Amino acid sequence: MGSPGQDVRNEDTTVEQHRCPHRFGISPGAKTMLIPRQCKVKTPHLVVGLLICLVARSVQGQPCSVEERQKVTGIDTLSNDQFGTAVSIGRDFAVVGAPNEGHTAPFNGSGAAYVLRRDRNGTPLDSSDDLWIHQAKLVASDLTVSGHFGRSVAMTDGLVLVGATRDSREIRSSGAVYVFQHDDHDTPADPRDDSWLEVAKLVPLDATPGDVFRWLGMAVHRDTAIVGAVGAGNSGGQQQDGPGAAYVFRRHNNGTPDISTDDYWFQEAKLLASNAARRDQFGKAVSISGQWAVVGAPLRGHNWDGAAYVFRRDQGGTPSDPNDDVWTEHVVLSASESAREMGQSVAISGNRLVVGAPREIFGPGAAYVYRRNADNTPEDDSDDSWTLEARLFDDSVRSFGAAVSIYGNVIAIGGSLPVGVFCDPI
């Protein structure tokens, strides 16, 4: 583990470099060798309109393939509604943002988000005939002109979060996040009567004009959400001028875990970089998994080297009582001297996290994979360390690492051209 503010940098000289066939390259650490296998990638996943490069990682060591199954459009969207600007998927649901939707005065450009449901067509074991169908259109209960509701979205089981980056209802141009909850109306086997209800609007306790949720990264896991605010702490109200912050919100079940109608959301923490500087864009990208969160600051450093900050939630020995939980900065991750804008994208799942650095001095970008080590004390994660496991890159892809995502053993990386797969036989 590094102490708060400690910069753990992985120099190129300490990471063995390997160039592999099919224009793929991998820089593995000493413990794990990632073996690339070529596969045909026809187009991105059905709703991931902006994902243009896919890298899959499989512990089974089997080749992976991705092909377009279905093209999805909004039921009432127009060409300039920006449908697909943000997407998120979980189990049998997906949500797609259209931040410029809205064609009727006085709510032009207020934005919307669309929930899609996967219909397994009576064959749950055969996904080849699955269809994604429209289930709900989400709009803010307090629509704002040009509020850009849908600029960012996040989904977890039974919850959808939608960001409105220009919401001005509370404080001018501060932005807000709306929480929607799934209601199956006690008929889980029949999704036709399902609905999505707005249950909360999240705004930081210290919101100020123009500097909070104007540009935001957003993620949710179980009952905890994290929202980045790249301009927080600005001086003089200039957007993106501050070092940035990330806010952690948590859902409290009010002592009735089986009844969701009395749940409420509260701000649990405000995360700041220990070495914050103006315009670091801390909060540009965020991700959360269990008691761990990672926040990207892509413009950190004189040369915009960037960094990723890992935070850990300390439950204070009372996991059932969230009131005494504390989030602390665990370690700061930096890549090699050649990396630029590291932290432009981040993703964490279990014991692994991925950080994108879409610019490099000697290449078009890379994605860095880190693994958490228990350091011989599996019951105490306060002394866990994060070590570089692999550097993924493709010299033929521009801005490789501009977007990253990880779920279990699969990593998706955004770039400018489709590539293939990385498979780990371990």
- 326 assigned to some structural domain: yes
What's the pLDDT at 103? 67
CB 138 within 8 A of CB 113: yes
Report d(CA 1, CA 46) in Å as an integer: 39
What's the pLDDT at 146? 63
Task: Examine the domain organization and report whether 390 and 309 are in the same domain.
Answer: yes
DSSP, res 267? E
- 131 assigned to some structural domain: yes
Task: Examine the domain organization and report whether 219 and 346 are in the same domain.
Answer: yes
Task: Examine the domain organization and report whether 295 and 224 are in the same domain.
Answer: yes
Cα 257 to the center of its chain, rounded Å: 26
- 50 assigned to some structural domain: yes
In tens digits, the chain (426 residues) has pLDDT values of 444 445 555 444 344 332 322 333 433 332 222 323 332 333 332 223 233 334 443 333 344 556 677 888 888 888 888 888 888 988 789 999 998 887 665 666 789 999 999 888 878 888 778 888 999 999 998 876 667 899 899 999 889 999 987 665 555 556 889 999 998 888 887 877 889 999 999 988 887 665 556 556 899 998 999 999 887 775 544 555 778 899 999 998 776 767 777 788 999 999 999 998 888 889 999 999 999 999 999 988 778 889 999 999 998 767 777 777 899 999 999 876 667 889 999 999 999 999 998 887 777 788 899 999 987 777 788 889 999 988 888 777 778 888 888 887 778 887 765 443 443 433
Q: Which domain holds residue 253?
A: 7-90+209-423
What's the pLDDT at 134? 93
Task: Examine the domain organization and report whether 214 and 280 are in the same domain.
Answer: yes
pLDDT tens digits along 139-159: 998 876 667 899 899 999 889
- 2 assigned to some structural domain: no
Report d(CA 26, CA 352) in Å as an integer: 17
Report d(CA 114, CA 354) in Å as an integer: 28
Q: Map tokens 């055969």 to a residue.
A: 126
Report d(CA 163, CA 204) in Å as an integer: 13
Domain boundary among 138, 168, 203: 203
> Is the bond preceding 106 in cis, omega lying within 30 degrees of 0?
yes
Report d(CA 111, CA 137) in Å as an integer: 11
- 1 assigned to some structural domain: no
Task: Examine the domain organization and report whether 307 and 407 are in the same domain.
Answer: yes
SS3 category, 128: helix
CB 112 within 8 A of CB 150: yes
Task: Examine the domain organization and report whether 150 and 233 are in the same domain.
Answer: no
Q: What are phi and psi of 324, to 5 degrees?
A: -105, 15
Domain boundary among 203, 221, 245: 203
- 15 assigned to some structural domain: yes
User: Would strands 339-340 and 345-349 be described as parallel, antiparallel, or unpaired?
Assistant: unpaired
Task: Examine the domain organization and report whether 282 and 354 are in the same domain.
Answer: yes
Report d(CA 392, CA 55) in Å as an integer: 9
Q: Map tokens 């220009």 to a residue.
A: 166
CB 391 within 8 A of CB 26: yes
- 36 assigned to some structural domain: yes
Report d(CA 215, CA 117) in Å as an integer: 28
Q: What share of the chain is helix, strand, coil (3-state, %, to 5)?
A: 5, 40, 55
Domain boundary among 203, 231, 266: 203
Task: Examine the domain organization and report whether 140 and 181 are in the same domain.
Answer: yes
Task: Examine the domain organization and report whether 339 and 288 are in the same domain.
Answer: yes
Structural domain tally of the chain? 2
Question: In terms of pTM, does the model score above 0.75?
Answer: yes
What's the pLDDT at 419? 42
Report d(CA 228, CA 118) in Å as an integer: 30
Gyration radius from the chain CA atoms = 21
Task: Examine the domain organization and report whether 278 and 369 are in the same domain.
Answer: yes
Task: Examine the domain organization and report whether 45 and 97 are in the same domain.
Answer: no
Task: Examine the domain organization and report whether 263 and 213 are in the same domain.
Answer: yes
